[in-house]
Amino acid sequence: MKNNYIVSALAIALLVWTGCTSSVPKTAKAGHREWAADSSILPLTRPVNEQVMATIPAITADSGTRIYASEVRGIMTYDTRNQTSIASRVGGRIEQLRIKYNYQPVKKGQLIMEVYSPDLAAAQRELLYVAQNSPALLPQAKQRLQLLGMQPAQITQVLATGNILYRVPVYSNSDGYISETAAALPAAPAATASAVPAGDGMGSMGGAAPASAPTASAPAASPVLLREGQYVAAGQPLFIIYQDQHLVAEFSFPPQLAARIKSGQSLLFYPDNDSKAMQTGRIGLVVPVFRNGENFTLARVYLDRQHFRIGQLLTASMPVMYTDGWWLPKKAVGRLGNTTVVFRKEKNGYVPEVVQTGVEAEDKIQVMTPIGGWQVASNAAYLVDSESFIKTNNSWKGNDL
């Protein structure tokens, strides 16, 4: 026992002597030791939705005046300036109606409908009575019938046969396409055509390209609402005939191009089914349109009949000069919903920056944000994951231009 206590005491004394004689390093200081940060890894510590580290090539935007041929869609429709109306000169009941649907082609002198008029029948009886008993009053009786809508040939027929015409015919007064007065040209746009972004399949990850302006649809050949047996009033307009000697080519321009067109400007257009049948025309009227929540501009080109058909789809090409903004390849610009971004190079990484874009021409896109001194990623789609939420830098405002 005694020996064990002696060994333990010697071991404790040895440990205390060793701790006291050990040397303290000269660099030791009070508190925790501070390590210097490695500046080469600082960019790697930023969130991945604020900066992307990549070795993708960087490009700079081009500037200067450019001329591009912009293509727009259109349709052939009626010239509403050349139209005539058909009204019933007498009040009565429609006995027979020859028009079955709106925009039915008619010829001048074609029978439109027949109307039974009690007043006209009574006036014919008076005419026959005056012709037999008071020939001196015959001119006044004929004039009354003419005012009621009867033609001189019909009055002569009544006097020759002695039979009353209970049905008064109404004829077309022009060649063209007939439509009810209540059936206006439809205002609903046709399906919009979206521009497909250039580049590879990953180019669509940045968002779809904006849709082009809608085009007006062709008038629909809907059934007429007027029916046999209905009553009409004297002088009531019933039909409108759009004359087919002249037609109108309507082209829809998006807001980016609307400010660059004007009346008298020339353009080339061709039917969609025959790109070789190129035609020239001049814009006769520019009409701003707000339809179904979309804002665009209609340009009308007035044409002769030639070989076009109503409702024929057209494509127009018009040279436009651009003197402002910067130009980048389409694939260098990414779209995040309603926001457009480019990836600006900073040292070894790329940072997303919000930009304002203009028109798209060929494989280029116009950028209105001043990016003259920037280096941006050549393909924005490679820096965006399909499920990422990019945190953009909104420091630029539109009034900085």
Domain 58-67+324-384 has CATH 1.10.15.40: no
* Alpha helices (H) along 134-292: 138-147, 152-161, 255-258
How is domain 87-182+227-239 classified at the architecture level of CATH? Answer: Beta Barrel (2.40)
Tokens standing for residue 308: 């076009």
The Cα 89–Cα 172 span in angstroms is 13
Q: Domain coordinates of the chain in residue numbers? A: 58-67+324-384, 70-80+244-321, 87-182+227-239
Q: What's the rounded mean pLDDT across residues 224-237? A: 86
- pLDDT for residue 10: 60
How is domain 70-80+244-321 classified at the architecture level of CATH? Answer: Beta Barrel (2.40)
Give buried/exposed letters for 101-138 (b at 16+ CB in 10 A, else e).
ebbeebeeeeebbbbbbeebbebbeebbebbeeeeeee
Whether residue 37 contacts residue 177, with contact meaning beta carbons closer than 8 Å, is answered with: no
Tens digits of per-residue pLDDT, 371-385? Answer: 888 888 888 776 666
> Maximum Cα–Cα distance for the chain, whole Å?
172
Tens digits of per-residue pLDDT, 80-135? Answer: 888 888 888 788 899 889 888 888 889 988 999 988 888 888 888 999 998 888 88
DSSP string covering 36-49 = PP-GGGGGGGS-TT
User: Quick check: do 58-67+324-384 and 87-182+227-239 share a fold?
Assistant: no
205 pLDDT band, cuts 50/70/90, is very low
Query: Per mean pLDDT, which of 65-69, 124-128, 188-192 is the most reliable?
Result: 124-128
Q: Which of 357, 349, 356, 359 is nearest to 394 (CA)?
A: 356
Residue 390, pLDDT > 50, answer yes
Tokens standing for residue 79: 């010239």
Whether residue 88 contacts residue 233, with contact meaning beta carbons closer than 8 Å, is answered with: yes
Residue 204, pLDDT > 70, answer no
- pLDDT for residue 254: 81
- pLDDT for residue 36: 58
Q: What's the rounded mean pLDDT across residues 193-211? A: 38
Residue type, 192: T
- pLDDT for residue 220: 62
144 burial type by CB count under 10 A (0-12 exposed, 13-18 middle, 19+ buried): middle
- What does pTM read for this prediction? 0.56
Higher pLDDT, 351 or 367: 367
Q: What's the rounded mean pLDDT across residues 320-329? A: 84
- pLDDT for residue 193: 37
